[in-house]
A and B are shown apart, each in its own frame.
Chain A
Amino acid sequence: MSADTLATAKPAVELEGITKRFPGVVANHDIRITVRPGTVHAIVGENGAGKSTLMKILYGMQKPDEGTIRVNGAEVSFRTPSDAIGVGIGMVHQHFMLADNFTVLENIVLGAEPKRAGLLDTAAARARINELAETHGLRVDPDKLVEDLGVGDRQRVEILKVLYRGARILILDEPTAVLVPQEVEELFQNLRELKAEGLTVIFISHKLDEVLGIADAITVIRRGTTVASVDPGEVTARQLAELMVGSELPTPETRESTVTDVVTLKVSGLTMEADGHRPVPKGASAEAYVAKLREEGKRLLLDDVSFEIHQGEILGIAGVEGNGQSELIEAIMGIRPAHGLIELTGRDITSWSTLRRRESGIGYIPEDRHRQGLLLEASLWENRVLGHQTRKPARRGIWINRKASKADTERIVREYDVRTPGVDTLALALSGGNQQKLIVGREMSGAPAFLIAAHPTRGVDVGAQAAIWDHLRDARAAGLAVLLISADLDELIGLSDAIQVIYRGRLVAALDPSDITPERLGGYMTGAIAGTEET
């Protein structure tokens, strides 16, 4: 590539000192990025590092509180996405925004229809789409219905839609998240052609091997700010992972081992089908049925997952998001049916309801606290009752014991340092960290035997993070078995007594946290280091 000559040209996009605050938190802080024209520029960072906010600012969906944006050398200020489109910036969203019952052509022109005498000028639209498809190598049939297209084709339609509106700078938000490897290669081929045409691509991802494969320049974002701009030729995936994860966090190290040989949770052969659970046919054994599914090439969200967690042990599950972690949690909680066996303190709980599992001592810190963990429009003490309706102190016969619940909520507020005006305050009034501390306190109540902690410190401030780690450690010392799922590799390595790597629904490697670095762990997670022989 002629990167050397292009380097002297005006930057396609230049962000300087971008800061965006939300009530109580700073999502972006002093972001500095320079994107050269005609390049693929990757922005990498952990989930929650602030990538999405940054892209929303660049696409005019949110206004920065501080800082300047320059496009092709001229300073701009966006109020709406149409302002961004106006200067040639287009966005391909992670979740496709297409009307299924429209044709490709209709989807592409939707909102920017060429008209002739008040009617849709199909011929003009078709000509322009064909021309765009031709020059950029994005082949799609304009007359096909979108519902008949595969994921890769849909993505091409999204790109065409953006190009049709005259974009010269494309933002792709996690474009490979939904693609299979062959489609990823196809997408990259398309991106290279766009680049050859002089277009600029901003590529957001957390998949390091892919980033290294396509990007001409890489900017790393961590905790809301840009920490490094690197040349992909000069870094390895491990170094990138290190940059992404960082090391300035308080260390979540656990001291001496408290692992006992009493098994608290035993999971064997857990398997979940992608296209809906079907009971094992009568007469067939579960193993034979699962083997048959595998043979038929059915996609499995969980594939023969087996592990044990002992009293006083924290088992960490490492994996890039979307490799079966959520499904594993939901299967253990009894929210989603799966094949296989789950035993809690020696009892087979496979057929139990979620309620019964909770009553028998499973605590659950959900990955999305707003979706699964809280009643935002209810008071704190009512949130304390949630999940404990059938147990003391919340229960008194058929009644809710309000007084005892409030008193116990006050205990949680005190012991877990939840900063709140009172227990009658609505949950939504609290900051993320305080909401999370309340959830941790609730789930630790009633002496659980086993705790699922999914991203327990995601989106919380450093102080709350350290406090939550302390509570997990204390509970572990008291004999709690914990299944820890986290994208924060330091947290995972520091807290866990054992680590299993999940990749495409399978546990592919068992690692010892005392002798692994975040970089090597990152290698296992992306499949770069083979704990498995699969692609």
Chain B
Amino acid sequence: MPAGLNRALLTVAGAIVAVILAIAICSVAIVAAGGGPLDALAAFFDFGATERAQSNGVAALIDRAIPLFIAGLAVAIGFRMNLFNIGVEGQYRIAAICAAYVGSTFTAPGWIQISVIIIVAALVGGFYALVPAVMKVTRGVNEVIATIMLNYIAINLASYLVRGPFSGQKEGDLTTTTPPLPESAMFPDLNFVFDWFGMVRPTRAGGLWGFLLVAIVLGVVVWLVLERTRFGFNVKASGLNGPAALASGVAPKTMVIAAMVMSGAVAGLIGLPEILGDRGAYNSNFTAGLGFLGIAVALLGRNKPAGIAIAALLFAFLDRAQGALQEAHVPASVVTIIQGVIVLLVVIANEITKRLALRLEERRAAQQLARNTPVEVTA
């Protein structure tokens, strides 16, 4: 068996074991909370009684997975070189509000309008990530601390902006919001996909968001950049062995700045699916906490775009069931427990399978070579 395939199989096996174990552990939690594990399991797969409810459920699942996927990508870019960009949370919020405001100030044909909004979001997110990167390379400030602090600044700055300079609130409105985006800014939905499967088109929250396509393209681009380009190689080398990367001519400071800005630029897009697909503005109902969830998604997906996609879908699948669980008399917070347990177990499983794979590889190579190499005395 080729060495690469061997390692991949081990990884998948580890992840599956972790998820099964997590379900077992959570069953205990559900029983303790007074529910039935089987009821809970049924609730996860219960997408509603009517056809329309089922379509809405599927759309909600995918819509939830899109920003999680983008958030996972953003975090993974940093993780690849041992940079912990905890600031994804702040980067996407500040980027979302700036992009929503800029988008509302003009009207242009759809593709221009949307492109401008995406570019503004990426620029703002990248710029906001540049701050901790510069602090790190010039002053040695730990990026974890810097980004956590910048999160607070971003969150509060965003709530100031939405009330003050960027406010589009009309007299009598209950929610604070930026001015509404013109119709041309709304990303066309993908509801027609449901026709292909003979399902009813979803109606809730804009249906299936068209930003899904952007996310898929983004995933492919990130994969290409990380796995196939020289830049990606430098990122990998810096992450695996800093001194070796340095000795081979990779400039560590440039790499920190480039990786951090790229991470921030991707993070800037996290809020757009929701704004362009449903809300048409940044308002007080805007989904928070995606940046932190992105950390868990990236961990779960082992920093690889395909893995992150699966992890994002899994998280979205669990999140979607919150309503159904309550109807089955299981506390909805069980979902959070399951998510936490899965992340923990997967991190452990990753570490175990990684060591196992390395040891197997060592043994395999040693066996192949032992036949014709006599043992030498060295130290």
Contacts and interface: CB of A to CB of B under 8 A. Distances in A.
A29 B377 contact: yes
A389 interface: yes
A429 interface: yes
Interface residues of A, number: 67
B379 A387 contact: no
Give the interface size class of chain B. Answer: 35 or more
A371 B3 contact: no
B358 A377 contact: yes
Tell which of B236, B243, B248, B369 has the most Cβ of chain A within 10 Å.
B248
A45 to B, nearest CB: 9
Tell which of A357, A428, A432 has the most Cβ of chain B within 10 Å.
A428
Contacts of B366: 23-24, 429, 431
Interface string A92-131: 0000000000000000000000000000000000000000
A48 B365 contact: no
Interface stretch (A253-261, A416-424, A515-523): A416-424
Interface in B228-261: 228-234, 236-237, 240-241, 243-251
Contact of A430 (B2, B3, B365): B365
A386 B358 contact: no
B38 interface: no
Contacts of B379: 25, 27-28, 48-50, 52-53, 223-224, 459
A377 B240 contact: yes
A23 B362 contact: yes
B195 interface: no
B230 A399 contact: yes
Tell which of A356, A398, A432 has the most Cβ of chain B within 10 Å.
A398
Interface string B208-234: 000000000000000000001111111
Contact of A400 (B233, B251, B369, B375): B233
A462 B244 contact: no
A426 B365 CA distance: 9
Nearest to A369: B244
Tell which of A26, A428, A431 has the most Cβ of chain B within 10 Å.
A431
Contact of A354 (B231, B236, B246, B368): B246
B378 A48 contact: yes
A426 B230 contact: no
Interface in A295-320: none
Interface string B336-379: 00000000000000000000001001101110110011011111
Contacts of A375: 236-237, 240-241, 244
Contacts of B248: 354, 358, 386-389
Given A375-B240, A425-B365, A355 B251 contact: yes
A335 B246 contact: yes
B4 interface: yes
Contact of A366 (B2, B247, B249, B361): B247
B237 A460 contact: no
Contacts of B358: 377, 426, 428-429
Contact of B228 (A356, A376, A387, A399): A399
A246 to B, nearest CB: 12
Contact of B362 (A379, A419, A428): A428
A275 B77 CA distance: 35
B233 A385 contact: yes
Contacts of B364: 421, 429
A25 B362 contact: no
B361 A389 contact: no
Contacts of A459: 378-379
Interface of A: 21, 23-29, 48-50, 52-53, 223-225, 333, 335, 353-359, 364, 366, 371-379, 382, 385-390, 395, 398-400, 402, 419-422, 424-426, 428-434, 459-463
Interface of B: 2-4, 228-234, 236-237, 240-241, 243-251, 358, 361-362, 364-366, 368-369, 372-373, 375-379
15 contacts: A26-B375, A48-B379, A50-B379, A224-B377, A224-B378, A354-B249, A372-B244, A375-B241, A376-B240, A377-B240, A386-B244, A386-B245, A390-B249, A400-B229, A420-B369
Given A389-B250, A421-B364, A434-B369, 18 more contacts: A24-B375, A335-B246, A335-B247, A364-B247, A372-B246, A375-B240, A375-B241, A377-B240, A379-B4, A385-B233, A388-B248, A389-B230, A421-B368, A425-B365, A429-B366, A430-B365, A431-B373, A461-B376
